[in-house]
């Protein structure tokens, strides 16, 4: 038998409200053609993000009932701590309300003016927290990592030679830590190989710099290592994850991804002195060290989710469902970023709507069309998000790629939902000549994509 089925039965259902393309045209117009401004109830399939959108298991929900809500020393904290210690091997486990809170604490201590922090590719909150501290965030993705058409196994890798050059160039004392993001979210959800993590460790050792992992999708990354890297096919996901963490001095984690919960995160690290400083900040900004911004029930759900995510049947289904979407779109000639990553498919909007120039936002146009024809919410990752206008010359500077992300929430949609998405994307592609460019009519000074307003450009 070939069909990989969802490795779960459905126990609780949440109805989807249906509307018509005509309804959706009105809704989209009222939202200023920005899907972030659409009410979630008006969306049929929501692929805006995989963050905090997971369906929890019956065991997670029963853990919620069982959560110990004591202010200090709650039983749920000790379960949380035990599970994470066993998985990561790190000595100090510090709960936070989400990933960015862990980043904020870490960079408040290690960042600051004159510091540089390299990463295979920083996620936007990581970059923002580093820059907020006064330090400079630098991306060093491997060669080919940014080419949407190159197919290779570990396109998320760090460029090790560039990393070493960078350290020598900026000076060891100005680099408080090296980070690796697994999987590489901002680079198409592409995995990082064990070999690359080991090589990063070797550089960290050579120059005496700590190595931290941004571990949001560590289980998806471990699964890719098992499938693609020689020597790992017989190892369990847990063993692979443990080996990954063994090369690092600490990690930041958004539990909203691979811990299969709707809210939460943590900072984990070996250095006791650093941990003491982190806990001192934690008490001021998040809460007492045994809850750190979370309820006891959240800690239970995270502990349970971190065990469930290591299940190979789950990961087989997870990675396959993303790959299946990518495969069907590719077969229909729809240009996507290759190969499919762990948590999302990225449409190559520049090729998809090649008649729309970057300053008229081809990605936004596809996002709008997909919503109208299918009620599908996706997100533009292109010039709306990263494009700029040069202050002096007034010239438009486009993003390096024009993409539309279809992020797949964990355990939420079934194969028929994905088939429906495939049909809608293919239909949009077949009608691509009728896609129109957009112009921005309002934008906020920072992170404009969240609240920008648009209008279609009429011929």
Ligand X SMILES: *Cc1c(COP(=O)(O)O)cnc(C)c1O
In the bound state with ligand X, the residue whose beta carbon lies nearer, of 130 and 370, is 130
d(CA 266, CA 281): 14
Query: What DSSP line would sit under 162-191, residue for residue?
Result: HHHHHHHHH-GGG---EEEESSBGGGTSB-
Residue 265 contacts residue 247 (beta carbons within 8 Å): no
Residue with tokens 């906020």: 444
* List of residues contacting ligand X (CB under 6 A): 51, 98-100, 123, 125-126, 181, 185, 214, 216, 254, 256-257, 265
Distance CA 273, CA 51 (A): 31
Residue 71 or 450 having the CB closest to ligand X: 450
Least distance in Å: CB of 345 to ligand X?
16
**CA 219: distance to chain centroid?**
13
CB of 185 to ligand X, least distance (A): 4
Closest CB to ligand X belongs to which residue?
99
Is residue 294 classed as helix, strand or coil in its secondary structure? coil
**Cβ 87 to ligand X shortest distance, Å:** 18
DSSP, collapsed to helix, strand or coil, labels residue 209 as: coil
**Shortest separation between residue 126's beta carbon and ligand X, angstroms:** 5
Q: Which residue number, 255 or 334, has a Cβ lying nearer to ligand X?
A: 255
Question: Cβ 328 to ligand X, closest distance in Å?
Answer: 25
Residue closer to ligand X by CB (options 108, 125) is 125
CB 124 to ligand X: min, Å = 8
For ligand X, the closer CB: 256 or 328: 256
242-246 contacts: CB < 8 A, separation 24 or more? 242/87, 242/88, 242/89, 243/194, 244/182, 244/194, 244/197, 244/213, 244/218, 245/87, 245/88, 245/89, 245/90, 245/213, 245/215, 245/218, 246/89
- Whose Cβ is closer to ligand X: residue 57's or residue 185's? 185
């Amino acid at each position: 038998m070939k069909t990989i089925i969802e490795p779960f039965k459905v126990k609780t259902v949440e109805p989807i409200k249906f509307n018509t393309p005509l309804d959706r045209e009105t809704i989209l117009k009222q939202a200023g053609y920005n899907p972030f401004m659409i009410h979630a109830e008006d969306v049929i399939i929501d692929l805006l993000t995989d963050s905090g959108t997971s369906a929890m298991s019956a065991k997670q929900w029963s853990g919620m009932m069982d959560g110990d809500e004591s202010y200090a020393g709650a039983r749920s904290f000790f379960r949380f701590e035990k599970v994470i210690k066993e998985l990561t091997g790190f000595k100090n486990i510090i709960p936070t309300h989400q990933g960015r809170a862990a980043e904020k604490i870490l960079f408040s201590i290690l960042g600051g003016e004159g510091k540089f922090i390299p990463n295979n590719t920083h996620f936007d909150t990581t970059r923002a927290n580093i820059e907020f501290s006064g330090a400079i965030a630098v991306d060093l993705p491997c060669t080919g990592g940014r080419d949407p058409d190159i197919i290779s196994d570990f396109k998320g890798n760090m460029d090790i030679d560039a990393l070493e050059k960078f350290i020598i160039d900026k000076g060891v004392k100005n680099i408080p830590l090296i980070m690796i993001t697994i999987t590489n979210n901002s680079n198409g959800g592409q995995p990082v190989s064990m070999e690359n993590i080991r090589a990063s460790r070797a550089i960290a050792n050579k120059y005496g710099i700590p190595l931290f992992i941004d571990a949001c999708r560590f289980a998806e990354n471990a699964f890719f290592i098992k499938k693609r890297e020689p020597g790992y096919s017989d190892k369990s996901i847990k063993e692979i994850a443990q080996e990954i963490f063994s090369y690092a001095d600490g990690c930041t984690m958004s539990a909203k991804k691979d811990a299969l919960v709707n809210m939460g995160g943590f900072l984990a690290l070996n250095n006791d002195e650093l941990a003491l400083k982190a806990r001192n900040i934690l008490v001021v900004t998040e809460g007492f060290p045994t809850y750190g911004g979370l309820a006891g029930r959240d800690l239970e759900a995270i502990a349970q989710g971190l065990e469930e995510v290591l299940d190979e049947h789950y990961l087989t289904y997870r990675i396959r469902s993303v790959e299946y979407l990518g495969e069907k779109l590719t077969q229909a000639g729809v240009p996507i970023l290759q190969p499919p990553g762990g948590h999302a498919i990225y449409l190559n909007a520049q090729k998809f709507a090649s008649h729309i120039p970057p300053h008229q936002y081809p990605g936004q146009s596809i996002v709008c069309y997909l919503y109208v024809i299918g009620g599908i919410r996706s997100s533009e990752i292109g010039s709306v998000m990263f494009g700029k206008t040069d202050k002096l010359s007034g010239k438009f500077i486009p993003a390096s790629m024009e993409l539309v992300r279809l992020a797949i929430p964990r355990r939420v949609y079934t194969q028929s939902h994905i088939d429906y998405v495939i049909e809608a994307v293919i239909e949009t592609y077949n009608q691509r000549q009728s896609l129109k460019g957009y112009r921005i009519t309002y934008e906020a000074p920072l992170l404009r994509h969240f609240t920008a307003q648009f209008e279609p450009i009429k011929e």
